[in-house]
Structure 1
Amino acid sequence: MEQIFSKLKFITHGEGFIDITHDLNLCVEKNNFHSGILNLTSLHTSCSLTINENADPNVLKDLKKYMQSIVPYDSYLTLSKNREEISYKHYQEGADDMPAHIKTSLTNTCLSLSFQDGKIMLGTWQAVYLWEHRFDQKERIINVHIIGEKK
């Protein structure tokens, strides 16, 4: 068994998803691994990692809209009987920042994936996505830790 640590950088273009599956498979291949485990960690508090469908783009559009509906910008309504409106206290980095932190807390910042024959083991219609929760373009870094057997 061998292991390596690496970092992958991605430029996002505001809220939305970037399919990073190919980049991950390329990282496994370039490091000459055959089988093992790939551990991914986002080094940010306002984006997520997720596995979801890669066939119908409406799945990702619906996920984004749903998340926006449960985590509104600027303020939210409590779930209590009187439905009090609460404004976010953390707003210094923009109206999208606190909601981005909440979205990240509701999703994943780390994933562990098995790979075999140099390819991540995913279902037919699955892909690994970096999910950006901020409005603006950001540089995002994913820490990659590969543990496995070399070819």
Structure 2
Amino acid sequence: MRQSITTIGIASHGRGMIEITAQVCDWVRDTGMATGLLTVFCRHTSASLVIQENAAPEVRHDIVDWLDRIAPETARYRHDDEGADDMPAHLKSVLTGVSLSIPVHGGQPMLGAWQGLYLVEHRVRPHRREVVLHLIGE
């Protein structure tokens, strides 16, 4: 059994979903491990990770719009230290999560035909985000 770990940096352009599938798959391939378990972990409380459809861009826009309706900036929150989008970003992160576990087989994450990995940026302004990739396998 072996393991490998790395951190990838992702620049967001503000609220939205950024596909990271290719970066993750390339790294898994480069580890040389054929079978294992991949953990993808977002190191932030106002961004998150999801596995979602990667064929129709409308899906990404609808998800972001839905999250905005669930946790609107116009609501009254006690925590608003960094602006109106601060607490809604934390709530959206709670809903979507910061960690994913994905089986690896044949040197690739076992994603479905229409699945992609996304970092979801919940803040309005651009940020530099870090995602940790950890693979244990052989």
Q: TM-score w.r.t. structure 1 length?
A: 0.88
Q: What is the match of residue 134 of structure 1?
A: 123
The equivalences for 1:48-127 within 5 A come to 48-75=48-75, 87-127=76-116
Identity %: 41
| Cα distance in 2, alignment partners of residues 70 and 108 from structure 1 | 15
Residue 36 (structure 1) aligned with residue 36 (structure 2): yes
| Cα distance in 2, alignment partners of residues 29 and 18 from structure 1 | 21
Mark the runs of 5 or more structure 1 residues left unpaired by the alignment: 76-86
Instruction: Say how many residue pairs are matched.
Output: 138
| Cα distance in 2, alignment partners of residues 28 and 55 from structure 1 | 22
Q: Kindly state the Cα deviation for residue 74 of structure 1 after the two structures are TM-superposed.
A: 3.5
Mark the runs of 5 or more structure 2 residues left unpaired by the alignment: none
Deviations 1:105-142 (A, max 9, x none): 11110000011111111111110100000011111111
| Cα distance in 2, alignment partners of residues 124 and 68 from structure 1 | 28
| Cα distance in 1, alignment partners of residues 2 and 73 from structure 2 | 45
Q: What is the match of residue 8 of structure 2?
A: 8
2:97 maps to amino acid: N
Q: Secondary structure at the match of 2:68?
A: helix
Q: Secondary structure at the match of 1:101?
A: helix
| Cα distance in 2, alignment partners of residues 61 and 118 from structure 1 | 31
